[in-house]
């Protein structure tokens, strides 16, 4: 079963300038998928459409067989590109907020991940570095037992030393029957955890997609090398 299906999806911010134009995409359950493309190709727009934060001009989206709405939203755990919490809140208050708001939130998992990263739950967000704030937000998102995780640039704001741990945290802390969609421009760092990839071009067109390992074996090239070829970086 596909956990996510997008059919003929179109979205424009300006008349005649579509960000996405007739996009078709299917993601099976149990996969980690890299949504890769240059800035401005529509990656974040697509993630927001799936999360129900934007409305498409035309086309259909379904998550777990449900059209976008309350039922699909209950299956999605979404990490936006930028932190959005009040900086006056303590980390422990955010955990309590998530516990009350999401029935699938695992409090014990959240505190364990905080401890692993050495983050004080009593600290206020405003006292934390930008990278640590992003780690807190990722921990909250990955502590849900969702069916579809949408992670928009989850490692962009953290130091290289923390990226490997964060990626291993992503892999080891989600339901194996769920799927993860990761957008990133740091392909070399993230491709080690990807099952599948999608190269998204300008206008929201899928230029290349497939199984990551199979593609590397067939071409003898990394996804980063293929990306540079496709987009002539």
Low-confidence stretches of the chain (pLDDT < 70) are 16, 173-174, 233
Chain position carrying tokens 């990761």: 182
Q: What is the pLDDT of residue 156?
A: 76
pTM of structure: 0.92
Q: What is the pLDDT of residue 231?
A: 87
Distance set, CA 127 to CA 89, 90, 121, 164 (Å): 10, 10, 12, 24
Q: What is the pLDDT of residue 4?
A: 96
Q: Which fold has domain 2-231?
A: Rossmann fold (3.40.50)
For the chain, the straight-line distance linking the first and the last C-alpha, in angstroms and rounded, comes to 35
The gap from C-alpha 221 to its chain's centroid, in whole angstroms, comes to 24
Q: What is the pLDDT of residue 20?
A: 92
């Amino acid at each position: 079963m596909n956990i996510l299906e997008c059919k003929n999806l179109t979205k424009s911010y300006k008349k005649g300038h579509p960000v996405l134009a007739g996009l078709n995409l299917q993601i099976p359950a149990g996969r980690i998928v890299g949504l890769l493309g240059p800035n401005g190709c529509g990656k974040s727009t697509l993630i927001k459409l799936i999360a129900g934060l934007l409305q498409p001009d035309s086309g259909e989206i379904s998550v777990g067989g449900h059209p976008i709405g309350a039922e699909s939203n209950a299956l999605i755990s979404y990490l936006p590109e930028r932190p959005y919490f009040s900086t006056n809140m303590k980390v422990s208050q955010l955990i309590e907020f998530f516990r009350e708001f999401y029935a699938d939130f695992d409090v014990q998992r959240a505190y364990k991940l905080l401890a692993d990263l050495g983050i004080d739950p009593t600290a206020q967000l405003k006292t934390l570095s930008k990278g640590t704030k992003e780690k807190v937000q990722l921990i909250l998102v990955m502590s849900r037992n969702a069916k579809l995780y949408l992670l928009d640039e989850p490692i962009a704001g953290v130091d290289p030393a923390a990226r490997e741990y964060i990626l291993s945290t992503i892999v080891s802390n989600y339901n194996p029957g769920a799927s993860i969609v990761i957008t990133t421009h740091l392909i070399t760092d993230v491709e080690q955890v990807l099952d599948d990839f999608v190269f998204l071009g300008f206008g929201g067109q899928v230029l290349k997609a497939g199984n990551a390992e199979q593609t590397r074996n067939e071409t003898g090239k990394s996804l980063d090398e293929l990306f540079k070829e496709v987009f002539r970086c």
